[in-house]
Amino acid sequence: MSPGASVGLPPAFPFVALHGQSALQTALLLSTVDPLIGGVLVEGPRGTAKSTAARALAALLPGGRFVNLPLSASEEQLVGTLDLEAALKAGDVRFRPGLLARAHEGVLYVDEVNLLADGLVDLLLDVCASGINHVERDGISHVHPARITLVGTMNPEEGELRPQLLDRFGLFVRIGNALAPAAREAIVRARLAFDADPAGFVASHDEAQRMLGARIVAARAALPAIGFDDPTHAAVAARCHAAAVEGVRADLVMLRAARAHAALEGRTRIEVADVDAVAELVLAHRRQDDAERAAQPPAPAPATDQSPPASGEDWGALPAQDVPIAAVKNVRPLNAKKP
């Protein structure tokens, strides 16, 4: 090899070849179809393929953009700033794009997000929820689209994320390190095959990857036409009420996630099965446990005149349902059958 010759980066592990991470794969796909869901927070110990899954997701997208946000990043590196070179040489006021601009229509990955400065996490979540980056600094005012699939990971041994920030992540996946023998074997076999021949392994999954990528593009296009009907609102409100979540952020995220799930399944309307498929991803980090509920003041006794509840108090009688998320295998990462 001649001096200065560049060495190409190895290909990303195929998303469809991941094993044992069906909940994570589902959450990543939903957030990719609708980035305004608010990103995915992944909690788990080291060696559980968190970064591998995020890189694999980026490889599915049309531009294949994967941007890693280092913990040492500054705010101006993230959002962008004044182009000092242009200002000094020509006196021009120009905007120098930051990592958010680079990640537009791609994946922005933050490892150990719980160790990132709270201000940057807050800023990230604001942009993720709006899809727009507003920059007002250094004498410049600039706005640009930033529809990013935010993937944050954290190891609970390194500390927790503040509850206010935890709630702002749209979806949450907790990965355990206890795998069944069959799953461990499948993961190891796939990894060894990839390491032995990365190009060949990727080529063997190329058709499945293309089909899944096409499903994502089609789901994104279909998303605006899928509405939220009354049964969907009732099902979502009942599940959020049963989980005793604070505020209505969970309701909004669950509606978006259920719509993205329906779009990936090729449906034109949301069904209860779509709500069931995404409910735990939305509620896992927001559900209040029994101790928290016991600490809350008791609800006031009903009025003696038996007057009807105020608007918004009767959230419906549907029970909360914990339904396993469908396994992601090959080209059907969600429910395998269409209705």
- Report the catalytic residues: 249
Please state, in angstroms and rounded to a whole number, the distance separating the CA atoms of residues 193 and 199. Answer: 10
Query: Do residues 175 and 24 make contact, with C-beta atoms less than 8 angstroms apart?
Result: yes
C-alpha 286/C-alpha 245 separation (Å) is 6
Q: What residues form DSSP beta bridges with 80? A: 97
329 burial type by CB count under 10 A (0-12 exposed, 13-18 middle, 19+ buried): middle
Torsion of CA 40, 44, 46, 47, to 10 degrees: -80
Cα 190 from Cα 118, distance rounded (Å) = 37
Structure tokens at 310: 């105020």
b (16+ CB within 10 A) / e for 296-312: eeeeeeeeeeeeeeeee
- Provide the 3-class DSSP secondary structure of residue 235: helix
Phi and psi at 9, nearest 5°, equal -70, 145
